[in-house]
Structure 1
Amino acid sequence: MGWWFVALMLVLVPWHPRNPALWLWVLMSCLPEVHPCLLCFGPTLQRARLCSYVTGLPVEHPRHKICLADLVRAAKQLASVTVGSGQREELRDIVIDAMNFIEDQKGNKPFRASLREAVNTIWVKLSELEKVPACIPPCGFQPDARVFQCATCRFVDCQFALDCPVQDLWTYTDETIVLHCNVPFKIPKGTPVTWLFVPNLRTQDMALFKKVNGNPEKPFSLTIEEPAPGTVACILGEPAKPIVRKFFYLNVSEGSVEEEKELQGVFSTVLQSLDAEKSQPPIPALGLAVAAGSTAFVLLLLATWQCLCVRQTCHRRGHQGTREDSRSLDSV
């Protein structure tokens, strides 16, 4: 409470010393435990006169204080109530109807019983309201997710920045790319789109961007032929009052798309051959040992055979040589 409220009390009390409704309004406004949901709607006197009307007693009476304590406990049950921004008037009607119900039950039911029934009716009617969409991170102003808080009597928006994180894209100088300025939450129909670009920089400083022309028939997408390094930004909503700003940083390589496709083809062929080798059934270890032994045995036989052939050839040559020598000696 500010000093102005204290001054207001000092002015009003002498003027209305016997006005229980005013006293009740002052008292309920000073009580921090009284949840504002019961104070958000309806005329001030309607809210203030409730306990005075129900009890018919002055503010100082113990029963009147008990009535206020019951209201505090009931109000705490509504601490978590939030509705969509467009449902504020419905919430107002629900709360005022509950207070009117309590007044109408005077003399028919005990105050606590009528208060409990009124609170239950509030929850039933709240459950029938359309659910508010949740805030979807990480960025952007989301009108449909705006809520009215019963705790503060205020509208509350999603606590996200308007600027989305920069998204990296990799491309080539001869490649055509398409950027999309879409968001995961609902936006008003007919929302304008603005595309901007700054070369050779990764930035979110809007002062550095310059507007680029998009496709009027497809405003939510931007087609770029022969891209250049830099940051592309799109703004949903009026630039002076945006809903969201998205950023794309273009990492542009000097290579060719065709060269990249060829390399990918070679790489795919190698992977396929490796997969084919892996898909062949494995040779059992015993079979592999037998095959190796058989091969070694065959090689051993071949080597032995070659040695025998060499020996036989040498023996024949030696025998023939002995005969020729004996013949030469006989001639002498």
Structure 2
Amino acid sequence: MGWWWVSLLLVLAPWLPGVHPCLLCFGPPMQWTRLCHDITRTSLKGPQQQHCLEALAEASVPLAPVTVGSSQRETLREIIMDALHFLEKQKEIKPFEVSLQEAINIIWVKLSQLEEAPACIPPCGYQPAARIFQCATCRLVDCQFPLDCPVQDVWVHEDEAITLHCDVPFAVPPDLPITWMFAKDIRTQDLALFEELQESLGEPPSLTLQDPTLGTIACRLGSPSETLARKYFYLNVSGRSVEAEQGLQAQFRAVLRWPHSRTPLQPTVSLELGLALGFMGLVLLLVASWWCFWKPPEPPRPL
């Protein structure tokens, strides 16, 4: 690798992704040229100057895979700049190669003391805490997940209440606005088809439905301009629950005195049943009397 490659790398590094040794992320290329000039005390195009630049580039390569949490980017910059200042102080004391290796070792020791950024948690959502700074690209990188979570199927009976939760497995700021929406009769993630149901702030991030209806329930975590995630629940609504049906059947058996039922009738139920049967008998008697009185004469039979 010749000195011309190092010079080209230093010039093109800020614009070409994937060729950034970590040392080059902080400061313009001219800064490294001045640093080597101060260390070697030679001309900018001299062999010692180019050897210094080449040594810096090679020493930076092992740092390329380093990543830190976005909140620690400034700390990483301070670590790099402290190492460069160490190089300047050692220029009159030790050979450049020795000082450079010591500076790199200092960087690794300080990097080991940093906390790791939280991992991205699939399958969805914008996760600010998991954003990282990549030395390989000198850029901040977010989790590559969509805001829209997959639709979850929820099975429910029409006579039972259900509670849906708009929670996510990653950390979110407190007092985050939560908006609930509904698209009737369809399974969809098209926001244009939803109508807003309810909006709340912070806890609890849940919605309770007393009379569930077939369709898709959606919740938006965050404001429309700063959404962290959108969750979708498709409500598969069926008839009454088994418990409700058994309760109705038990009441029918009690009223009709089926032999399968051994539950004695309460006095109030017996009285109501007697009144009902008496009323039905009176109605039938009145109908029969009306029919006999108003019965039209039969037409004459043909001879």
What is the number of equivalent residue pairs in this alignment? 239
Partner of 2:278: none
Between structures 1 and 2, the one with greater helix share: 1
| Aligned-residue offset at 1:255 | 3.1
Q: TM-score, normalised by structure 2?
A: 0.73
Query: Match for 2:49 among 64, 76, 81?
Result: 64
User: Partners of 1:151 and 1:185 in 2: how far apart?
Assistant: 26
The alpha-carbon deviation at position 56 of structure 1 amounts to: 1.6
For 1:149-228, list aligned pairs within 5 A: 149-213=134-198, 218-228=203-213
Which of 235, 254, 279 pairs up with 2:239? 254
Closer/same/farther in 2, CA of residues 193 and 59 from structure 1, 3 Å limit: same
Distance in 2 between the 1:92 and 1:216 partners?
Answer: 37
> 1:238-279 CA distances to partner (integer Å, 9 max, x unpaired)?
0232100000000000132415789xxxxxxxxxxxxxxxxx
Determine the C-alpha separation between the residues in 1 that align with 2:118 and 2:132: 10
Instruction: Between 81-90 and 41-50, report the one with greater CA deviation.
Output: 41-50
**Alignment gaps of 5+ in structure 1:** 1-23, 263-332
Asked if the contact 1:175–1:257 (Cα under 8 Å) also holds between the matched residues in 2, the reply is no
Instruction: Note closer, same or farther for the CA distance 1:166–1:118 as it changes in structure 2 (3 Å cut).
Output: same
Give, as a single letter, the amino acid of the residue that structure 1 aligns with 2:185. Answer: N
The 8 Å contact of residues 176 and 201 in structure 2, kept in 1 or not, is answered as no
**Match among 194, 205, 226 for residue 241 of structure 1:** 226
Q: What is aligned with 1:28? A: 10
Correspondence for 2:216: 231
Matched, 1:78 2:63: yes
Map 1:34-183; keep pairs closer than 5 Å: 35-42=20-27, 45-183=30-168
Point out where structure 2 has 5 or more consecutive residues left out of the alignment: 1-5, 248-303
TM-superposed deviation, 1:230: 0.3
CA distance in 2, matches of 1:106, 1:86: 33
AA in 2 matched with 1:62: P
Which amino acid is 1:91 matched to? Answer: L
Q: Quick one: structure 1 residues 247 and 27, their matched pair in 2 at CA, closer, same or farther if it must change by over 3 Å?
A: closer
- Tell me, in whole angstroms, the C-alpha distance in 2 between the residues paired with 1:27 and 1:164: 42
Structure 2 residue matching 1:213: 3-state secondary structure: strand
Q: 1:88, 1:203 → 2: CA distance? A: 40
Runs of 4 or more consecutive aligned structure 1 residues displaced over 6 Å after TM superposition:
24-27, 31-34
Structure 2 residue aligned with 1:284: none
- Check 1:203–1:46 CA distance in 2 against 1; reply closer, same or farther (3 A cut): same
C-alpha distance in 2 between matches for 1:224 and 1:202? 18
User: What secondary structure is seen at the aligned counterpart in 2 of 1:119?
Assistant: helix
Q: Superposition RMSD on alpha carbons, in Å?
A: 2.3
In structure 1, distance between residues paired with 2:95 and 2:72: 32
**What secondary structure sits across from 1:68 in the alignment?**
helix
Residue-by-residue CA offset, 1:122-159 (whole Å, 9 max, x unaligned): 11111111221000000000010011112222111000
8 Å contact 1:162–1:243 — kept in the other structure? Answer: yes
Normalised by the length of structure 1, the TM-score is 0.67
SS for the counterpart of 2:196 is: strand
Distance 1:260 1:149, change over 3 A: farther
* Matched residue SS, 1:204: coil
Deviates more, 1:72-81 or 1:251-260: 251-260
CA offsets 1:64-101 (integer angstroms, 9 cap, x no match)? 22222211111101101111111111111100111111
Q: Percent identity?
A: 56
Q: Which amino acid aligns with 1:29?
A: V
Q: Distance in 1 between matches of 2:35 and 2:200?
A: 62
Deviation at 1:191, TM superposition (A): 1.0
What SS class does the counterpart of residue 63 from structure 2 fall into? coil
